[in-house]
Amino acid sequence: MPGLHDDRSDLADRLRERGITDERVLAAMSAVPRELFVPEDVAGEAYADVPLGIGQGQTISTPWIVAFSAAALGEFPAGARVLEVGTGSGYGAAVLAACGASVVTVERHPELAEQARRTLAATGYGDVAVRTGDGLAGAPDLAPFDGIVVTAMAQRRLPPALLEQLAPDGVLLCPVGDGAEGTLVRHHRDRDERLADVRFVPLVPGAPSD
C-alpha cells in the first residue's frame, strides 16, 4: 500500500522521540510490516499510534507499547527463550523474534492463533511457536523463560503460574489492574517496578468455550 513503507521507515524516529532508545528494538520495529498483521480495511492506519481491532473482541497494541514492552525486557542474548501471553495478531511476537528471541506465544482464541500462524509464516517469522490455550497457565513444559510478556490486563495481581515459569534472572512484564485499566509492572529478581499507566483488554482464563 503506497505510503506504508515510508511510515514504517519513520517509525523508529517517532518511537525514539517518545523515549525508546534500544536500537535493537527500533530496528525490529522498522523491519516488521505491521500492516500485514491487521485487517485489510484498517491497514492504512497500521502505523498510527492507536490500537486497532483484529476480531474476537481483541486489539493489536499501539506501536509504542509494543516497542516499550520489548525494550523493558532489557538486554537478552540471541536465542533467549521468551513467552508471550496473548498472541493476538502475532505482531508483538514478530517484534520479539526480530530482536533475537526464541518466542513461544499463547492465544486463547483458536481463530486468532491460526491467523497469527499464517501471518508469521508469510512474513518470515515462522519459527515463532504459536499455541492455543489458557495464557494464564503459560507453557510450563518449556519453562523456565528468560522473559515473559503479557499483553492483557491481569486482574489485581501477577499470575502465579507465570511467576513460577520465570528463570531466576528473568523478567516478567505484565499489566496489572482492575478491568481494562491498570499499571504495566516489571517483575525482576522478586522486585516489582511500576512502569506506566496502561489500558489492555482483560486477561481471561481458559478457552472461549469454557
**Structural domains of the chain ordered from first start:** 4-199 (3.40.50.150)
Q: How far from 19 is each of 14, 26, 185, CA to CA, in Å?
A: 9, 11, 18
pLDDT of residue 2: 43
Summarize the confidence of residues 167-185 as an average pLDDT. Answer: 97
Averaged confidence pLDDT in the chain: 93
Is the Cβ–Cβ distance between 135 and 107 less than 8 Å? yes
User: pTM higher than 0.85 for the full model?
Assistant: yes
Is the Cβ–Cβ distance between 82 and 148 less than 8 Å? yes
Q: Which residue out of 30, 61, 89, 209 is catalytically annotated? A: 61
Summarize the confidence of residues 70-94 as an average pLDDT. Answer: 95
Reply yes or no on whether the pLDDT at 1 is more than 50.
no
pLDDT in tens, 7-59: 887 999 999 999 999 999 999 999 999 999 999 999 999 999 889 999 988 99
pLDDT of residue 207: 66
Give the DSSP H or E segment for 9.
helix 4-17
pLDDT in tens, 106-141: 999 999 999 999 999 999 999 999 999 999 999 999
pLDDT of residue 111: 96
Kindly provide the residue ranges of all beta strands, DSSP E only, lying in the chain, ordered along the sequence: 52-55, 58-60, 81-85, 102-107, 129-132, 145-150, 154-155, 166-178, 181-188, 191-199
Residue 69 annotated as catalytic: no
Is the Cβ–Cβ distance between 162 and 136 less than 8 Å? yes
Residue 187: Cβ within 10 Å count: 19
